[in-house]
Amino acid sequence: MPQSFSGIVAEVSPAVVNITTTSVVSRPVTQQRGGPMFPPGSPFSDLFRDFGIPGFPGPESPFGDPGFGAPQMQQRSNALGSGFVVSAEGLIVTNNHVIEGADEIEIEFQSGARLPAKLVGTDPSTDLAVLKVEVDKPLPFVRFGDSDTAQVGDWVLALGNPLGQGFSASAGIISAKSRALTGTYDDFIQTDAAINRGNSGGPLFNLQGEVIGVNTAILSPNGGSIGIGFSMASNVVKGVVDQLEKYGETRRGWLGVKIQDLSPEIAESLGMQAESGAMVTDVPAGPALDAGIQAGDVITSFAGNPVTDTRDLVRRVADAPVGEAVEVTVLRGGESVTLQVTLGRRELADADGSGAPQGEQPPEGASSELLGMSLVPMTPELAARLQLPETARGLVVQDIDATSDASAKGLRVGDVIVEAGQQPVATLADLRARIDEAREAGRQSVLVLVRREGEPRFVALSIAEE
């Protein structure tokens, strides 16, 4: 255990900054007349409104929440956060949520000096932002370390501006790595170093004084630190900062596939010995389709590196250069196939995307029981009811036994089985044939491709007791 962190703090703290943002918000004029103030939904606000107290709209008011029917006035609001300098020229990293919506951004240095900052770029996907201050002389700055080499149990140091108290340091250990919260590109380091409101955007240091994370979020029932904090890993941050500095925006690689993790049942149904890789469930128009990747392929390697799961593949693709060809190895029919894929750009693909149609319950019709489900072949009428193309094919789940393996795996009424054993199925006879083939191969399950509201998913259904 370190005897003291004072040496590290003295070395890195000049590069840690407080961030104050100012924005203009609208507030009811009522609050400026001395009228009572209650939180939205309070029974007291309903009482004052119903009795016609000035400033509270009556029951017939079209303005919605109590107090918000009154005229609005513009008022300036301040918020606090943290950040750190990463270049002598004044480049500063923080969280996007610290500066989001700000009209003015001011940076306070440990020396007490204050400078206005301009926004270079933001990335809401990783909650990161890059700012810039104009300086006459080089600023103290810190460097990024390799977050992949950090280990659970390593000592770490968090610096920032907790609860607006000014420069503050807290120490702890890395509690876990590779945590995912809500984002596609999440790779959080979990730490028990005290992180509170106002620490957002501040650095997490290792004992070499290198930044291995950006303090972003806490898990807390009361809003204060309970020893569960999350810092975005520096190896993610570095790539985002480089792109924001260079382009003012992110430019992530795009493969153009829908994928899911391999379960032990799916791996067994494919005759795989390991569960590593990412299974392709759909290949819309894009780079992967152009290169020949197919639904049912298992991506086992990307750019020469093995793929462990879907999160690993998403990160590798995002970090890859847009417009460059990369080798993608897939497992198809028990054989490895290597393809050359020229990656597109994720941001452009997202801008062109559209939502999937919502499905409906299929009507009653002639059906047959199989694998614990009542199945009926797709018809043009069923396709119209399910908002699918008239040419759609497959077997529609009309009913399902709640005790069946299919129910346990998440299938439900309205799902459409379009493949079994990685071959299309349009009739019940097709599905029975695929089940027989799987049994003859000595497998305990059959792999089916299910579409729900336009979204595909592979499921391995048990055939042991059929």
Catalytic residue set: 97, 127, 200
Q: What DSSP character marks residue 254?
A: E
Q: Which two tokens stand for residue 421?
A: 């054993």
Residue 103, SS3?
coil
**Any idea which residue has 């609860």 for tokens?**
163
Of the candidates 328, 270, 320, which has an alpha carbon nearest to the alpha carbon of residue 299? 328
CA-CA-CA-CA torsion sign (363, 364, 365, 368): positive
Contact 192, 39 (CB under 8 A): no
Rounded Cα gap, residues 374 and 382, in angstroms: 15
Query: 445 with 460: CB under 8 angstroms?
Result: yes
Q: Are 452 and 400 within 8 A, CB to CB? A: no
Strands annotated E in 346-428: 368-370, 373-377, 395-400, 416-420, 423-424
Please name the residue that has the structure tokens 């108290």: 165
Helix (H) or strand (E) holding 179: strand 168-179
Cβ atoms 85, 139 nearer than 8 A: yes
Using DSSP, state whether 318 is helix, strand or coil.
helix
Q: How far apart are CA 89 and CA 72, in angstroms?
A: 42
CB 240 within 8 A of CB 123: yes
Inter-residue contact 214 to 181 (CB < 8 Å) = no
CA distance linking residue 412 with residue 361, whole number of Å = 10
Give the C-alpha distances (Å, rounded to integers) separating 109 from 37, 84, 170, 196, 440.
37, 10, 19, 20, 72
338: Cβ contacts below 8 Å, ≥ 6 apart:
301, 327, 328, 329, 330
